[in-house]
C-alpha cells in the first residue's frame, strides 16, 4: 500500500504537520514533514498482509497503523508522543475515534530513558558527522596491499615501499602461513615468473591474501604482516563515508562547514530539545512540544555554541531529568490494559 492508497480509501485517522513547524523551530528553508495514523482495510488486517507503517521515498511523510501507533505510545517513543501532542494549528485531520487516545494516559517515567536514550543517539550522530568532517576520506579506495608491511629487523616498512625498493611486483610474490602467528606470512619471489605463485592478492577488491604452493628448497625473501582487521574496519568506514557524501543534505552540510565547529549542529539542537522536553514532562506531568526557547535552540542550530559546552549542557539536563524522575507523580509506565481496551473499541467501531 502507498500513502495515496490510504487517502483514496479514506483510511487515515490522524494527520499532522510534524518536525520543526510543530516545534516552532521552522525557518524559511524548513521542509514540511507529515506524520499520521491509519487503519487497514478489513481483509488486510484480518488476513496475512498486516502493514505496520507506510512512508514515502524521502521519509518526510510517515504513517503508522493504529495498533503500531498505540504500541509505540506505550513505550513512550518520543516521535510518537510528539505526534499525539501536536498543537491544534498543526492538526490537518483528526477522526473522532482518535479522541479515545489521550496524551495524559501515556505519559510516564518511561520517558526518562526513551527521550534521554534518543538524545544520546543524536549525540553519537553529531560525533559521527564531526569525524566525517574532520577526517575526509579519499575517493580512491585503498586495497588490502595498503595494510601489508614487510618486517625489516626490528622495524617494518610498507609493502609498497619494499616492492618499489626491490623493483618487485606483487603478482610474482608467493605467501605461506607462519605457524601460530596470526597475520604473518613468509614471502617468496618468482624472479623468472615460472613457479606459478598466486601473488599477494588476486585483485584490488580482495579482502584476504592469496596463499601459494612453494617448491621445496625455495628461500623466503621476507616476512610479511597483514592487518586484515584494519582493512575490514577501513572498508566499513569508507562505505559509510561515501554513502553519507552521496545522501547528505547539502544545505545542512554547508551550515556545519560555515560555522566551523565540526559537529552536526542540527542534531545537537534536537538533542537539547529532547532533553528539555523530558525534563518538562517529568517536572510538570505534561507534554507541550511547542518550544518556549526558540532563539536559544536556533542559536545552537546555527553553530554558535562550542561542542564541549553543549555536551556539558546535555549532561546537566540528564542529571536534572534523573532528579525530577525521583519526585515525579507520573506512573512508572502507562496503563496497558486501558490502552488496549481503547484500541479494541476503536477497531470494533472501524470494522463493525
Interval 175-190 mean pLDDT = 95
Q: Kindly list the structural domains of the chain, giving each domain's residue range(s) and its CATH number in brackets, ordered by start.
A: 1-106+334-352 (3.30.460), 108-136+253-331 (no CATH), 144-232 (no CATH)
Residue-level pLDDT at 129? 52
Cell of 206: 580482495
Q: Is 77 helix (H, G, I), strand (E, B) or coil?
A: coil
Are 237 and 137 in contact by the 8 Å Cβ rule? The answer is yes
Query: Which residue has 524522575 as its cell numbers?
Result: 325
Q: Is 9 helix (H, G, I), strand (E, B) or coil?
A: coil
C-alpha 13, offset from chain centre: 29
Are 57 and 306 in contact by the 8 Å Cβ rule? The answer is no
Q: Is the per-residue pLDDT at 20 higher than 80?
A: yes
| Per-residue model confidence as pLDDT tens digits over 135-147 | 567 889 999 999 9
Task: Using pLDDT thresholds of 50, 70 and 90, give the confidence band for residue 255.
Answer: very low
In terms of pTM, does the model score above 0.85? no
Residue-level pLDDT at 257? 47
C-alpha 349, offset from chain centre: 38
Taking CA atoms, 63 is separated from 45, 48, 84, 110, 297, in Å, by 16, 20, 13, 23, 28
Cα separation, 187 vs 64, whole angstroms: 59
Cα separation, 118 vs 81, whole angstroms: 13
Burial track 50-87 (b if 16+ CB lie within 10 A, e otherwise):
eeeebeeeeeebbbbbbbbbbbbbbbbbbebbbbbbbe
Paired residues of 187 in beta bridges: 175, 222
Cell of 327: 519526585
| Per-residue model confidence as pLDDT tens digits over 72-111 | 999 999 999 999 999 999 999 999 999 999 999 999 999 9
Name which residue leads in pLDDT, 55 or 267.
55
Amino acid at each position: 500500500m502507498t500513502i495515496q492508497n490510504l487517502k483514496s480509501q479514506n483510511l487515515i485517522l490522524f494527520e499532522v504537520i510534524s518536525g520543526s513547524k510543530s516545534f516552532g523551530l521552522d525557518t524559511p528553508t524548513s521542509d514540511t514533514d507529515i506524520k499520521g495514523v491509519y487503519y487497514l482495510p478489513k481483509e488486510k488486517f484480518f488476513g496475512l498482509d498486516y502493514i505496520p507503517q507506510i512512508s514515502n521515498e524521502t521519509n518526510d511523510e510517515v504513517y503508522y497503523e493504529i495498533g503500531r501507533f498505540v504500541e509505540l505510545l506505550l513505550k513512550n517513543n518520543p516521535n510518537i508522543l510528539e505526534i499525539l501532542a501536536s498543537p491544534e494549528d498543526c492538526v490537518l485531520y483528526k477522526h473522532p475515534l482518535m479522541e479515545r487516545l489521550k496524551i495524559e494516559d501515556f505519559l510516564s517515567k518511561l520517558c526518562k530513558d526513551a527521550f534521554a536514550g534518543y538524545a544520546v543517539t543524536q549525540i553519537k550522530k553529531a560525533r559521527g558527522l564531526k569525524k566525517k568532517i574532520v577526517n575526509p576520506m579519499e575517493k580512491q579506495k585503498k586495497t588490502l596491499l595498503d595494510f601489508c608491511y614487510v618486517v625489516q629487523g626490528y622495524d617494518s616498512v610498507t609493502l609498497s615501499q619494499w616492492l618499489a625498493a626491490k623493483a618487485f611486483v606483487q603478482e610474482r610474490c608467493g605467501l605461506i602461513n607462519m605457524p601460530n602467528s596470526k597475520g604473518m606470512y613468509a614471502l617468496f619471489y618468482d624472479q623468472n615468473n615460472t613457479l606459478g605463485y598466486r601473488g599477494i592478492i588476486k585483485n584490488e577488491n580482495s579482502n584476504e591474501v592469496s596463499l601459494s604452493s612453494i617448491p621445496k628448497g625455495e628461500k623466503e625473501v621476507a616476512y610479511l604482516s597483514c592487518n586484515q582487521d584494519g582493512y575490514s574496519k577501513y572498508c566499513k568506514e569508507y562505505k559509510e563515508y561515501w554513502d553519507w557524501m552521496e545522501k547528505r543534505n547539502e544545505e545542512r552540510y554547508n551550515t556545519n562547514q560555515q560555522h566551523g565547529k565540526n559537529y552536526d549542529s542540527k542534531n545537537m539542537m534536537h538533542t537539547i530539545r529532547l532533553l528539555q522536553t523530558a525534563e518538562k514532562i517529568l517536572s510538570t506531568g505534561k507534554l507541550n512540544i511547542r518550544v518556549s526557547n526558540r532563539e536559544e535552540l536556533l542559536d545552537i542550530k546555527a553553530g554558535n555554541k562550542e561542542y564541549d559546552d553543549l555536551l556539558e549542557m546535555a549532561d546537566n539536563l540528564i542529571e536534572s531529568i534523573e532528579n525530577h524522575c525521583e519526585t515525579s507523580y507520573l506512573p512508572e509506565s502507562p496503563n496497558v490494559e486501558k490502552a488496549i481496551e481503547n484500541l479494541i473499541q476503536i477497531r470494533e467501531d472501524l470494522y463493525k
